[in-house]
């Protein structure tokens, strides 16, 4: 005898035209209401909610079962779809014009008392939400985010498939290579003292695919970075990784526009204006104080050094004499009290500035400020004119070394101007990054990674500290979504980069010999990119952090309240791997830390 199917329809699919259908549903009790003995249940599954009427007179289940029904019980219901009476129609639900009159209810699985309510009105500590993530995922917001994530990845794959890309997997256990963050290491049991690394990105393997003639590659890749804890970072994350042979920067950026346009169309139903704005790294830093500018609003940083070239105001004059700059922003009408203005000065100092000068534009156009008396009329007029000041505006000026001024004004710009929410999506590309970052001790490190092609090899050899690369970033609403570059395909250029970084030939051979050898076999020019999927979807969905769009994330400190990881392992496992704990670590174990 054939068993009855658990369901023949989905809760969210019913409309007025379905009246008269006999159906069987399965899902969770989202809400229960008892109206004089007749019980109304909102039945929820992944497609939505429909109201189910449990009338004891129809004997859908024993009275004790109906009385004991509670939120989040998993149930199956058989019944007849019928139209609601006009006064009971719920306009807030797509299914609000119909209901299911139950003839049978089966409790598939009861639920214990919930650790927290699953409706959106309940404020729940994040650690507790992650401890019970399987319940948290039932909440409408989380369910919508996971659905959006799936649809976004499907749109990405569709755009790349249409462009002739191959989806190719790359290894998870690899050799340790320097890519900017600490590797997560995996010890080898069969070769004690040897370790695999989990990939920070598929960088070298996707370049090998180009050497292998794949030409167009992509992958939805899991990546791992043992970084110090930061608010919006995860130790493991997902990126859309892509690479193309016989490709340059323009090819990559055009493809990226196709990909994100497909995602935004899928999730928002809007078409993006293209092409995206492009700024050089130098322009972004000068105008916005950051290489990931939020361009949804103006308030750009403006150069004022020439205005105060001969100033007698000591704070500005000393900065200029020492090779620094004077720059400012017009923050518009902020309506701040004196206490609020003083708080801005304190904020600037927190950000590293020696101070901050504020000037309020009065109705007649004059500038009110504690330092106005130290500035000449020409300087005040030049300041007001350069910043296009109007009555009511607040002008903020900083003088210091260029990096400090850019960082301080860039952050104040965000503090004062960044719009609330994420209704508008402002994409842009930042291009022409430096090849190397210069440390305070003049040491050089890769600005992106050591396989990034320089724009001019001779310039890199002669002036590595100022050399420009073929690297580019994609930015959305002030967040970096990902980075990419044209790659080095000439082994001699790659060797020169290693030399500049202080990686000698012997060391380079030991660490990258297998890759350097591959470069000698007809490597095509190639370029690529990696999009942070978690961050992009979070912004498009209007979520404050990426943990809200990751199914099972770690906390801000890298822990997993659900499974208890990272956790200790049996000492016998460590012995098999040839690993011995340091005495202080073992002591902490024994003390329970």
Q: How far apart are CA 571 and CA 581, in angstroms?
A: 9
Q: Are residues 150 and 271 in the same domain?
A: yes
Residue 319 sits in a domain whose CATH number is 3.30.1360.30
Mean pLDDT on 5-13: 93
Q: Are residues 370 and 495 in the same domain?
A: no
Residue 236 sits in a domain whose CATH number is 3.30.930.10
Looking at residue 55, its pLDDT comes to: 95
Is 590 within the bounds of a domain?
Answer: no
Structural domain boundaries enclosing 387: 298-417
Question: How many domains, the chain?
Answer: 3
What percent of the chain has pLDDT above 70?
98
Q: Model confidence at 590, in pLDDT bands (50, 70, 90)?
A: confident
Q: Model confidence at 302, in pLDDT bands (50, 70, 90)?
A: very high
Q: Are residues 218 and 188 in the same domain?
A: yes
Looking at residue 589, its pLDDT comes to: 78
Q: Model confidence at 100, in pLDDT bands (50, 70, 90)?
A: very high
Q: Are residues 435 and 411 in the same domain?
A: no
Q: Are residues 434 and 519 in the same domain?
A: yes
The answer to whether 120 and 139 have CB atoms below 8 angstroms apart is yes
Cα Rg of the chain, angstroms: 30
In the predicted model, is pLDDT for residue 1 greater than 60? no
pLDDT tens-digit readout, 227-278: 776 767 899 999 999 999 999 999 999 999 999 999 999 999 999 999 999 9
**Last residue in a domain, options 66, 90, 109:** 109
Mean pLDDT on 367-392: 95
pLDDT tens-digit readout, 314-333: 999 999 999 999 999 999 99
311 closest CA partner among 366, 360, 380, 365: 380
Residue 62 sits in a domain whose CATH number is 2.40.50.140
Is 5 within the bounds of a domain?
Answer: no
Q: Are residues 319 and 413 in the same domain?
A: yes
Is 86 within the bounds of a domain?
Answer: yes
Q: Model confidence at 592, in pLDDT bands (50, 70, 90)?
A: low
Q: How far apart are CA 543 and CA 554, in angstroms?
A: 16
Looking at residue 586, its pLDDT comes to: 83
Q: Are residues 148 and 274 in the same domain?
A: yes
Mean pLDDT on 107-123: 91
Q: What residues have CB less than 8 Å from 107, skipping those under 6 apart?
A: 61, 65, 69, 73, 74, 75
**b/e code 466-503 from CB counts within 10 Å (16+ = b):** ebbbbbbbbbbbbbebbbbbbbbbebebbbbbbebbeb
**Last residue in a domain, options 83, 109, 135:** 109
pLDDT tens-digit readout, 23-69: 999 999 999 999 888 999 999 999 999 999 999 999 999 999 999 99
**Last residue in a domain, options 417, 449, 471:** 417
C-alpha count within 13 angstroms, C-beta hemisphere, residue 455: 15
Is 96 within the bounds of a domain?
Answer: yes
In the predicted model, is pLDDT for residue 72 greater than 70? yes
Is 123 within the bounds of a domain?
Answer: no
pTM: 0.91
Q: How far apart are CA 39 and CA 16, in angstroms?
A: 22
Q: Are residues 431 and 413 in the same domain?
A: no
Looking at residue 442, its pLDDT comes to: 85
Q: Are residues 435 and 406 in the same domain?
A: no
Is 285 within the bounds of a domain?
Answer: no
In the predicted model, is pLDDT for residue 2 greater than 60? no
Q: Are residues 385 and 444 in the same domain?
A: no
**b/e code 73-92 from CB counts within 10 Å (16+ = b):** bebbbbbebeebeeeeeeee
Is 168 within the bounds of a domain?
Answer: yes
E strands in 211-291: 216-224, 236-245, 277-280
Q: Are residues 198 and 241 in the same domain?
A: yes
Report how far apart, in Å, the C-alpha atoms of 358 and of each of 385, 393, 396, 491 are.
Answer: 16, 10, 5, 53
Is 218 within the bounds of a domain?
Answer: yes
Q: At 293, give phi and psi (nearest 5°).
A: -75, 145
Q: Are residues 435 and 518 in the same domain?
A: yes
């Amino acid at each position: 005898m054939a068993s009855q199917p658990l369901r023949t329809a989905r809760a969210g699919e019913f409309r007025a035209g379905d009246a008269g259908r006999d159906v069987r549903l399965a899902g969770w009790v989202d809400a229960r209401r008892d109206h004089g003995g007749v019980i109304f249940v909102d039945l929820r599954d992944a497609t939505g909610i429909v109201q189910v009427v449990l009338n004891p007179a129809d004997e859908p289940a024993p009275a004790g079962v109906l009385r004991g029904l509670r939120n989040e019980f998993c149930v199956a219901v058989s019944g007849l779809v019928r139209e609601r009476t006009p006064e009971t129609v719920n306009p807030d639900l797509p299914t609000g014009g119909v209901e299911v009159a139950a003839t049978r209810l089966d409790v598939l699985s009861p639920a214990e008392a919930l650790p927290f309510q699953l409706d959106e009105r309940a404020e729940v500590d994040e650690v507790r939400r992650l401890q019970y993530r399987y319940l948290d995922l039932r909440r409408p917001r989380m369910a919508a985010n996971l659905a959006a994530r799936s649809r976004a990845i499907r749109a990405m794959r569709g755009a790349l498939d249409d462009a002739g890309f191959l989806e190719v997997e790359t290894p998870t256990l690899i050799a340790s290579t320097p890519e900017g963050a600490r590797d997560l290491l995996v010890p080898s049991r069969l070769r004690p003292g040897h370790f695999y690394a989990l990939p920070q990105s598929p960088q070298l393997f996707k370049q090998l695919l180009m050497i292998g003639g794949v030409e167009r590659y992509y992958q939805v890749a899991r990546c791992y970075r043992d970084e110090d804890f930061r608010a919006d970072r995860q130790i493991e994350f997902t990126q859309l990784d892509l690479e193309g042979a016989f490709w340059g920067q323009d090819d990559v950026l055009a493809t990226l526009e196709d990909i994100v346009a497909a995602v935004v169309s899928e999730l928002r139903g809007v078409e993006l204006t293209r092409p995206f704005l492009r700024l050089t790294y130098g322009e972004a830093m000068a105008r916005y104080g950051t290489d990931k500018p939020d361009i949804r609003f103006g308030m750009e940083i403006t150069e004022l050094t020439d205005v105060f070239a001969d100033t007698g105001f000591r704070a500005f004059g000393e900065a200029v004499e020492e090779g620094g700059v004077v720059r400012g922003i017009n923050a518009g009408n902020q309506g701040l009290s004196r206490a609020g203005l003083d708080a801005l000065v304190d904020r600037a100092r927190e950000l590293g500035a020696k101070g901050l000068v504020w000037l309020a534009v009065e109705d007649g156009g004059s500038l009110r400020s504690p330092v106005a008396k130290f500035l000449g009329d020409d300087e005040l007029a030049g300041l007001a004119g350069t910043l296009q000041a109007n009555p009511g505006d607040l002008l903020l000026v900083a003088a210091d070394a260029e990096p400090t001024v850019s960082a301080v004004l860039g952050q104040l710009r965000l503090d004062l101007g960044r719009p609330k929410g994420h209704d508008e999506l402002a994409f842009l590309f930042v291009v022409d990054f430096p090849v190397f970052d210069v440390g305070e001790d003049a040491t050089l490190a890769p600005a992106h990674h050591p396989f990034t092609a320089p724009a001019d090899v001779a310039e890199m050899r002669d002036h590595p500290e100022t050399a420009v690369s073929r690297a580019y970033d994609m930015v959305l609403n002030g967040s970096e979504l990902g980075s990419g570059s044209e790659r080095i395909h000439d082994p001699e250029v790659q060797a020169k980069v290693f030399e500049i970084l202080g990686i000698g030939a012997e060391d380079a051979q030991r660490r990258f010999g297998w890759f350097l050898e591959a470069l000698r076999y007809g490597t095509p020019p190639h370029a690529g990119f990696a999009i942070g999927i978690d961050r992009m979807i979070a912004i498009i969905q209007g979520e404050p952090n990426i943990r809200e769009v990751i199914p099972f994330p770690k906390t801000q400190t890298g822990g997993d309240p659900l499974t208890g990881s990272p956790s200790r392992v049996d000492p016998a496992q460590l012995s098999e791997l040839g690993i011995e704990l340091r005495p202080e670590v073992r002591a902490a174990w024994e003390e329970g830390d």
